[in-house]
Each structure stands twice: as structure tokens, then as C-alpha cells.
């Protein structure tokens, strides 16, 4: 039996095979994120993969820097509400999300906070990623510290040693950033 596929079907299949992936990369949020991360990596931007649940304030600066030897850190003594030293680096990607920078705060050589500046148009995808990785944010009415709901509401997830904090919604000119802080930095936290 000689089965012949009509030319129109062949052309339609070829069209879908070529246009489908391009459509996905350009017109879907996931495709745009993946395209941006590949482009940022090709341009030489650093990627940092950081397990937020494993962060611990019992890690020294030296130990932290050994985990990320390929990142070009700029460190300096600087007093802030988060410690007395910080190390920062420009990055392109944080856990698969296009980003701008990472800053690690230290207090007397111990990790005391991490701040990630990410690209604003990926705020919703970052929230979704955190929901998938860490479960639901801490519910109101729990014994954990809460921030009032409203335009300034904050989502936070509890880890073994601290909290991951992210604004629920970003204002027009607000810097998109994610924070990890140890329990000792938050009032009314369990230690």
C-alpha cells in the first residue's frame, strides 16, 4: 500500500513545527523568561542558584564565598540594619529568574541576610516559584510575625532558620527585591 501525505498537510506541519516554538518563546511568559535567561547567560551574566530553605546564619563569609567561587563579589565593611559587612555582585539570573544583583549581609562574619534584586516583569513568576518550592506563605493568625494586608502587604515563608520575604504586589517605581532574614532579625520570631 502506497500511502501519500497531501502536500498541504506537509506544509501545515512544517509551518507549525517552525512557528510553534517561536510563538512559545516570544508570546508566553515562560518562553520569554527562558529566552531572557539564555540571552543573559550568553552575554556573560552570572547565574546564582540559591536554595533559600537551606540558608543559615551559622555560615561564615568565607564558607559562603566558597559555595559561589565563580561569582565576582565586591565586599566592604558597611554598617546597616542587617549587619556590619556586605558583599554584592551583579548577576543575570537567580534560580531561573532574570535578576540584577545579589547582596549578602554579614554580622561579625556570619550571614545575616540576603537580598536579591530581580527584574520586575518576573515578579509573578517568582511568587509562583516560591509557592511551588516552599508551599503557602505564612497564614494570618499564625504565631509568626505578620504584615498587614493592603498595598504594602508582604508575603513571607518560614525556613528552618529564617524567613523569605517578598512584596505581594509592586508599586510603579518600587524596586523588586526578595529578602532572606534569620529569625533573630524579625521581631516576635521563634529562634
Grid coordinates representing 17 are 513545527
pLDDT at residue 172, as a whole number: 86
**Calpha distance 65→75 (Å, rounded):** 11
**86, 78 Cβ separation under 8 angstroms:** yes
Grid coordinates representing 168 are 505581594
pLDDT 10s digit of each residue in the chain, 191 long?
677 878 888 788 888 788 877 777 777 777 777 777 777 777 778 889 999 998 989 999 999 999 999 999 999 999 999 999 999 999 999 999 999 999 999 999 999 999 999 999 999 999 999 999 998 888 654 555 454 455 568 898 999 889 999 999 998 888 999 999 998 877 655 44
**Calpha distance 191→102 (Å, rounded):** 25
pLDDT at residue 6, as a whole number: 80
pLDDT at residue 147, as a whole number: 46
Amino acid at each position: 500500500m502506497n500511502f501519500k501525505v497531501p502536500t498541504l498537510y506537509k506544509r501545515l506541519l512544517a509551518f507549525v513545527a517552525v512557528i510553534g516554538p517561536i510563538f512559545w518563546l516570544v508570546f508566553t511568559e515562560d518562553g520569554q523568561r527562558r529566552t531572557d535567561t539564555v540571552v543573559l547567560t550568553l552575554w556573560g551574566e552570572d547565574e546564582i542558584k540559591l536554595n533559600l530553605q537551606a540558608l543559615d546564619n551559622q555560615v561564615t563569609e568565607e564558607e559562603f564565598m566558597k559555595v559561589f567561587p565563580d561569582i565576582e563579589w565586591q565586599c566592604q565593611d558597611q554598617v546597616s540594619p542587617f549587619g556590619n559587612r556586605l558583599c554584592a555582585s551583579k548577576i543575570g539570573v537567580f534560580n531561573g529568574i532574570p535578576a540584577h544583583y545579589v547582596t549578602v549581609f554579614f554580622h561579625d562574619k556570619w550571614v545575616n541576610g540576603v537580598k536579591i534584586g530581580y527584574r520586575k516583569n518576573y515578579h509573578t513568576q517568582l511568587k509562583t516559584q516560591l509557592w511551588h518550592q516552599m508551599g503557602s506563605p505564612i497564614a494570618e493568625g499564625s504565631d509568626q510575625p505578620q504584615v498587614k494586608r493592603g498595598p504594602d502587604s508582604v508575603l513571607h515563608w518560614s525556613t528552618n532558620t529564617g524567613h523569605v520575604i517578598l512584596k505581594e504586589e509592586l508599586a510603579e517605581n518600587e524596586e523588586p527585591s526578595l529578602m532572606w532574614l534569620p529569625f533573630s532579625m524579625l521581631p516576635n520570631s521563634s529562634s
